[in-house]
Every structure is written in C-alpha cells, then in structure tokens.
C-alpha cells in the first residue's frame, strides 16, 4: 500500500511536468517507453554482471561519476 501511494504521487508529479503545448497522450507514451527501456537495460546489465564484484564496482563507480558530472553541469 505504501509503495502504491508513493507510485501514485510520483506519477502525479510527472503528470504536472507535461508542457502545455505537448500532446498528453504522446507525452505519456514517450514517458512509458523511456521507463521500459531503462528498466530493461537494468535487467540486461544486472543479468550480464551477475555476482561479479569487480564489474559491479566498476559500473557503480561509472554511474556515480556520471551523476556527479550531471550535478556539476558537465554535458555527457
């Protein structure tokens, strides 16, 4: 129930980001497509890396550095 509530609130927040000039249907389709692609890429990477600690640490470091770069305004 708690996860459902957070999911609904999260969806409402993203719904509030729809630009006024955009088609709401196209926005939702694009948003869902991007979400599915992100989840599938996570499944593929997770399945590929498995329990390889070195590979997991390398990926974690790369993602962390990318996050820091984005926060710092460095274009990726």
- pLDDT number for residue 58: 95
User: What is the tens place of the pLDDT at every residue in 9-23?
Assistant: 998 998 888 888 989
What residue has token string 């305004």?
Answer: 73
DSSP code for 51: T
Q: Phi, psi at residue 17, to the nearest 5°?
A: -90, -5
List the one residue out of 63, 66, 70, 37 whose CA is nearest residue 49.
Answer: 63
List the one residue out of 45, 4, 76, 42 whose CA is nearest residue 34.
Answer: 42
DSSP code for 57: H
User: What is the tens place of the pLDDT at every residue in 20-70?
Assistant: 898 989 998 998 999 999 999 999 999 999 999 999 999 999 999 999 999
- Tally of residues, the chain: 76
């Amino acid at each position: 129930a708690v996860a459902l509530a957070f999911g609904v609130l999260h969806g409402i927040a993203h719904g509030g980001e729809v630009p006024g000039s955009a088609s709401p249907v196209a926005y939702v389709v694009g948003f869902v497509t991007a979400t599915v692609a992100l989840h599938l890429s996570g499944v593929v990477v997770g399945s590929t890396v498995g329990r390889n600690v070195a590979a997991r640490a390398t990926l974690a470091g790369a993602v962390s550095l990318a996050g820091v770069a984005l926060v710092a305004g460095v274009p990726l």
